[in-house]
Structure 1
Amino acid sequence: MWSCWLVPAFCWLVHLCVAQSLRPQIASPQLATNNPTFTTIALEKPFCVFDGSLSPGKSYEVYLYAMMDSMSMISSAVTDNSSKPLDSTFQEVNGGQLGPYKAAVLNVPDCASPPKLADIRNVKKASDVLKQYLFRVGDDVSCLYDPNFLGVCNPPLASDTTYRFKYILVDETLGIMKDETLWSDPIKTNSVKKSSTIDTWPGRRSGGMIVITSILSVLIFLLLAGLFASVFFAVMESEDSATTETRHISQTVQQVAPRPQASSDRADQ
Structure 2
Amino acid sequence: MESFLLLLLASVGTFAQIEVIQYVPRVTDQVMEGKVTASTFALASPNCVFDSLVNATDEIWLVVTFTNATSSFKNPTNLQEIPPYENLYSTHAYMTMKSTISHYPCDKDKAGSVLRVGNESTCKNDNSLTPCNGPLPSPGTYRVKFIAMDSKGSKAETRWSGPITLNKAQAWQTVDTWPGRRSGDMIVITVILSILCGVVTLGFLCTVCYECFKLRQNGPPENVEQQRQEDPFPRSHYDTHHIPPTPPVPPPPPMDTPAPELTTASF
* Structure-1-length-normalised TM-score: 0.63
Q: 2:63 corresponds to which residue?
A: 65
Determine whether 1:105 maps to 2:98: yes
Q: 2:236 corresponds to which residue?
A: none
Q: 1:39 corresponds to which residue?
A: 39
Structure whose alpha-carbon radius of gyration is higher: 2
Aligned pair partner of 1:153 in 105, 111, 132? 132
Contact residue 47 and residue 111 of structure 1 kept, 8 A: yes
Q: 2:75 corresponds to which residue?
A: 78
The Cα shift of 1:116 comes to: 4.8
Work out the CA distance in 1 between the residues paired with 2:192 and 2:136: 42
Kindly tell me: are residues 27 and 207 of structure 1, through their superposed partners in 2, closer, same or farther at Cα, counting changes over 3 Å?
Answer: farther
- The letter of the residue matching 2:94 is Y
Work out the CA distance in 2 between the residues paired with 1:223 and 1:46: 61
- The letter of the residue matching 1:156 is P
Work out the CA distance in 2 between the residues paired with 1:160 and 1:215: 43
Determine whether 1:170 maps to 2:149: yes
Contact residue 45 and residue 104 of structure 2 kept, 8 A: no
Work out the CA distance in 1 between the residues paired with 2:201 and 2:137: 46
Q: 1:217 corresponds to which residue?
A: 194
Q: 2:255 corresponds to which residue?
A: none
Work out the CA distance in 2 between the residues paired with 1:116 and 1:140: 22
Work out the CA distance in 2 between the residues paired with 1:100 and 1:76: 7
Secondary structure of 1:178's partner? strand
Work out the CA distance in 2 between the residues paired with 1:48 and 1:207: 55
Greater share of helix residues, 1 or 2?
1
- The letter of the residue matching 2:177 is T
- The letter of the residue matching 2:162 is D
Aligned pair partner of 1:115 in 93, 102, 109? 109
Q: 1:92 corresponds to which residue?
A: 87
Kindly tell me: are residues 28 and 107 of structure 1, through their superposed partners in 2, closer, same or farther at Cα, counting changes over 3 Å?
Answer: same
Work out the CA distance in 2 between the residues paired with 1:207 and 1:42: 39
The Cα shift of 1:106 comes to: 1.8
Kindly tell me: are residues 88 and 116 of structure 1, through their superposed partners in 2, closer, same or farther at Cα, counting changes over 3 Å?
Answer: closer
Q: 1:250 corresponds to which residue?
A: none
Work out the CA distance in 2 between the residues paired with 1:40 and 1:103: 13
Q: 2:232 corresponds to which residue?
A: none
Kindly tell me: are residues 116 and 106 of structure 1, through their superposed partners in 2, closer, same or farther at Cα, counting changes over 3 Å?
Answer: closer
Determine whether 1:236 maps to 2:238: no
Q: Which runs of 5+ in 2 are unaligned?
A: 1-15, 222-267
Work out the CA distance in 2 between the residues paired with 1:102 and 1:90: 7
Work out the CA distance in 2 between the residues paired with 1:218 and 1:60: 69
Contact residue 75 and residue 100 of structure 1 kept, 8 A: no
Work out the CA distance in 2 between the residues paired with 1:215 and 1:168: 62
Identity %: 30
Residues paired across the two proteins, number:
202
